Each structure stands twice: as C-alpha cells, then as structure tokens.
C-alpha cells in the first residue's frame, strides 16, 4: 500500500503546533495565567501571588483567556471550512 498516512505522533505534533499558534495569539497575561493554572497546575491563590494580582483578577483573566481561545478556535475552524 503506497498511501501515506500520518502516524499518531505526527497527528499529536500537528495538534500541538495548532495549540501553540492559538496560545501565541493571546495577550501575554492570558498566556501566563493559562500556563500557571493549566500547565503548572497552580491554585488561583498561588497564581495571584506570582502575578501580583487579586484572586478575583486571576479568575477573570483565566475566564477571558479561555474565551479568547474558544473564539480563535471557532474562527480557525470556520476559515478552514470555507
């Protein structure tokens, strides 16, 4: 069979590349809050201390960052299907 198929590793790397591109489109503070909360698995309180913001501000930043990611993903998917 001469058909070329992407390996599972290639698919994951492609998805990660897409995720990295989405993250690059975020504001610095949105990227930072997501990195600390999701990647580093820190609490709201810990992130607030690191970023020098209130816990409420961190919750709002995280909410906005996730909404921006969602919006970017929807735009990317719409552009891909046009």
**Which pLDDT tens digit goes with each residue over 20-76?**
778 888 999 999 999 999 999 999 999 999 999 999 999 999 999 999 999 988 888
* CA–CA dist 41, 63 (Å, integer): 16
50: helix, strand or coil: helix
Alpha carbons 35 and 27: distance in angstroms, whole number: 12
Give pTM, 2 decimals: 0.71
pLDDT in tens, 7-16: 554 444 445 5
Query: What per-residue confidence (pLDDT) applies to 12?
Result: 43
**What confidence score (pLDDT) does residue 55 get?**
98
CATH 2.60.40.420 holds for 28-81? no
């Amino acid at each position: 069979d001469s058909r070329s198929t992407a390996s599972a590793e290639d698919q994951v790397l492609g998805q990660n590349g897409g995720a990295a591109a989405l993250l690059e489109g975020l504001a610095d503070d949105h990227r930072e809050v997501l990195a600390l909360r999701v990647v580093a698995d820190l609490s709201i309180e810990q992130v607030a201390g690191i970023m020098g913001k209130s816990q409420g501000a961190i919750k709002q930043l995280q909410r906005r960052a996730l909404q921006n990611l969602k919006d970017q993903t929807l735009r990317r998917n719409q552009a891909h299907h046009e």
